[in-house]
Amino acid sequence: MGAIVALLLAMVVIGAPIGAEATGFKIKVTAPGSQRPSAEIHRAPANVIRHHAVGPRFPVVVVPQPVVVVSPRHCLEPGYWTYNWIPQTYVSNEWVAGYYDSNALWIEGHYAPRAYTWGYYQPYWVPERWGSC
């Protein structure tokens, strides 16, 4: 809200006629619903020495902004090696000897597919990064 008021104030001051300086021109700006005190700009009277060789000067409006300095709570975590499990699977035909099943029927010996699972650890590098202390 303060930035909008400052912008409107700057537009009014820049748009003011040059001859208004001799009259002690005064601007009072209040924002509707604002509980802040109004911002006032006072112009210098006409008897102040001015150099007109440079050209017309416009007033400079300075709106102070709050400065917050926060120290970061981050540390540089060094890189490191870690490992990731890589699963592997393959299927092979395996000999199954003859047997009697649950119904007392003889099952002849035969080859049946069987899945085998295994794997290995793959090393990889985790690069350095900024983390919390």
pLDDT mean values, one per 10 residues, the chain (133 residues): 67 56 55 54 58 67 84 82 95 95 95 95 93 73
Predicted structure pTM score: 0.32
Q: Taking a C-beta distance cutoff of 8 angstroms, is the pair 125, 83 a contact? A: no
> What pLDDT sits at residue 38?
52
> What pLDDT sits at residue 43?
60
> What pLDDT sits at residue 99?
95
> What pLDDT sits at residue 5?
67
> What pLDDT sits at residue 30?
56
**Cα→Cα distances 64→3, 32, 39, 41, 106, Å:** 10, 21, 12, 14, 96
> What pLDDT sits at residue 89?
95
Closest of 45, 53, 119 to residue 89, by C-alpha: 119
Instruction: List the domain boundaries for the chain.
Output: 1-66, 75-132
